[in-house]
Amino acid sequence: MANQGATFRPDTTEGVRELVAWAAAEATPLEILGHGTKRSVGRAVQAAYTLDLAALSGITLYEPEELVLSAKAGTPVAEIEALLSEHGQELPFEPMDHGPIGGGAAGRGTIGGIVAGNVSGPRRIKAGAARDHVLGVTAVSGRGEVFKAGGRVVKNVTGYDLARGLAGSWGTLAVMTEITVKVLPRPEATATLVIRGLADGEAVRTLCAAMGSPYEVSGAAHLPSAAAEAAGLPGRRAATCLRLEGFAPSVAYRLERLAALLSGLGGAERLEGAPSAALWRAIRDAAPFAGSDAPLWRASVAPMAGPALVSALEGHALSHFYDWSGGLVWIEAGSGIGDGGAAPVRAAVAATGGGHATLVRGDAAVRAAIEPFQTQPAALAALSRRLKAQFDPAGILNPGRMPAAN
């Protein structure tokens, strides 16, 4: 639900500091917003005012040879990706675009939002998450103080790693105003092997075997037939997808060897160029679940535990697909389930050896009734709350959004 109060749109770090310091003094909660593409993740924030960072925008440093880029928090990801692309580079963690599953437009989202949500895509299993690429930040704490952490170089162990520590904090610890990330060359070539018709268990074993090969797989997903169809792979058969990226001769070499390794599973189709890119974009953005408003869960478990998680949910009228070699499971609950599927999903995660599940889409009533983020054991939850209090003692930043910010 949108807030009723005023929206502030500062365009400098100092402007953010001034506003947060005022809000802290008045104990007035703020909702921190970029483009709002992930507003459906977590509980709706109850705040008197909105701090909209979209005007705090612009790339402030880009040195392709140093593999480093800095941008103000409200800079559109699309603008960053376009500039990187001109220089043959990219954000290695392949950030997902939350717009489509949230019912919004594609192509929006800010770098601040990406880091605040630690948003990554299929390449996360090889290249690491958004947090792995954060080198430094400037931020305003809930105390209304500007601080910086990290730097602009990769090798840096000077002090606590607060820059990475702010990743995934969903704007509840501090308002990031400028972010420095590590970037990498965009691969020269990409190819995808698609094996059709495998059941979940065999598919995930195959993905894990490929990940354990020396062929540097950079995407490993399994789409049951409905999801495969929705992701643009016709034929009403499940699709097990493995992506290879790099220099052309290397991709060709690895493709042959990986195909040979998997030859016992019947033939594999090969996708290159635009069809391959479109498939991985669909996987990245959970496209099979766009255009619906049914509750959508995102679970992270040990890769081999993915199929067991799904089996444990049998009878709950759910649909699903796997990324991250089986460890990332997207689960859409039937709209008829009262708690949005929270009870069975959480029970299934616990029964399959641990991990976490987050409700990334659901109507406000469901999100208010359940805890959208994974509940933590008491000692860990208490530590998280103490950390929150050290950054934001008045509790003014995105109150309610995460459990530690309740």
Partner 1 sequence: MTRLAMPKADEGVLARRGEIAEALRAIVGTEWVVDHPDGLRPFESDGLTAYRQTPLVVALPENTAEVQAILRYCSGSGIRVVPRGSGTSLSGGSLPLADAVLLVMSRFNRILEIDFENRAVTVQPGVTNLNITNAVADRGFYYAPDPSSQIACSIGGNVAENSGGVHCLKYGITTNNILGLEMVLVDGEVIRLGGKHLDAEGYDLLALMTGSEGLLGVVTEVTVRILQAPETARAVLLGFPSSEDGGQCVAEIIAAGIIPGGMEMMDRPAIHAAEDYVRAGYPRDVEALLIVELDGPKGEVDFLLDRVEQIGRANRASYVRVSQSETERQLFWAGRKAAFPAVGRISPDYYCMDGTIPRKALPAVLHRMRELSGQYGLLVANVFHAGDGNLHPLICYDANKPGELEAAEAFGADILRLCVEVGGVLTGEHGVGVEKRDLMPAMFSETDLMQQQRVKCAFDPDQLLNPGKVFPVLHRCAELGRMHVHRGQMPFPDLPRF
Q: Which of residues 227-286 bind partner 1 (CB under 8 A)?
A: 246-247, 249-250, 252-254, 257
Stretch that binds partner 1, among 31-39, 195-203, 226-234, 355-363 (CB under 8 A): 355-363
Q: Of residues 6-45, which lie at the interface with partner 1 (CB under 8 A)?
A: 6-10, 15, 18-19, 21-22, 24-26
Q: Of residues 286-305, which lie at the interface with partner 1 (CB under 8 A)?
A: 300-305
Q: Of residues 72-91, which lie at the interface with partner 1 (CB under 8 A)?
A: 88
Q: Of residues 100-129, which lie at the interface with partner 1 (CB under 8 A)?
A: 118, 120, 124-125, 128-129
Tell me: does residue 154 bind partner 1 (CB under 8 A): yes
> What does each C-alpha distance from 15 to 36, 52, 109, 146 come to in angstroms?
20, 12, 21, 11
Q: Map residue 122 onto helix, strand or coil.
A: coil
Tell me: does residue 406 bind partner 1 (CB under 8 A): no
Q: Of residues 303-332, which lie at the interface with partner 1 (CB under 8 A)?
A: 303-305, 324, 327-328
> Which tokens belong to 238?
């499940």
Minimum distance between the CB of residue 83 and partner 1, rounded to whole angstroms? Answer: 16
Minimum distance between the CB of residue 226 and partner 1, rounded to whole angstroms? Answer: 25
Would you say how long the chain is, in residues?
A: 406
Query: For residues 305 and 293, what is the distance between their CA atoms, to the nearest angstrom?
Result: 27
Query: For residues 76 and 92, what is the distance between their CA atoms, to the nearest angstrom?
Result: 17
Tell me: does residue 374 bind partner 1 (CB under 8 A): yes
Minimum distance between the CB of residue 71 and partner 1, rounded to whole angstroms? Answer: 17
In the list 107, 168, 197, 395, the residue contacting partner 1 (rule: CB under 8 A) is 168
Stretch that binds partner 1, among 94-102, 105-113, 214-222, 261-269 (CB under 8 A): 214-222
Taking each helix axis from N to C end, the angle separating 200-211 and 248-261, rounded to the nearest 10 degrees, works out to 130
- CA neighbor of 388 nearest in space, from 174, 73, 150: 174
Stretch that binds partner 1, among 147-155, 221-229, 259-267, 270-278 (CB under 8 A): 147-155
Q: Position 266: which residue type?
A: G
Minimum distance between the CB of residue 291 and partner 1, rounded to whole angstroms? Answer: 26
Query: For residues 403 and 380, what is the distance between their CA atoms, to the nearest angstrom?
Result: 11
Minimum distance between the CB of residue 195 and partner 1, rounded to whole angstroms? Answer: 18
Q: Map residue 26 onto helix, strand or coil.
A: helix
Q: What are phi and psi of 95, to 5 degrees?
A: -60, 135
Tell me: does residue 350 bind partner 1 (CB under 8 A): no
Per-residue DSSP letter, 333: P
Let me know: does 331 contact 297? Beta carbons within 8 Å. yes
- CA neighbor of 43 nearest in space, from 331, 370, 345: 370
In the list 78, 83, 132, 278, the residue contacting partner 1 (rule: CB under 8 A) is 132
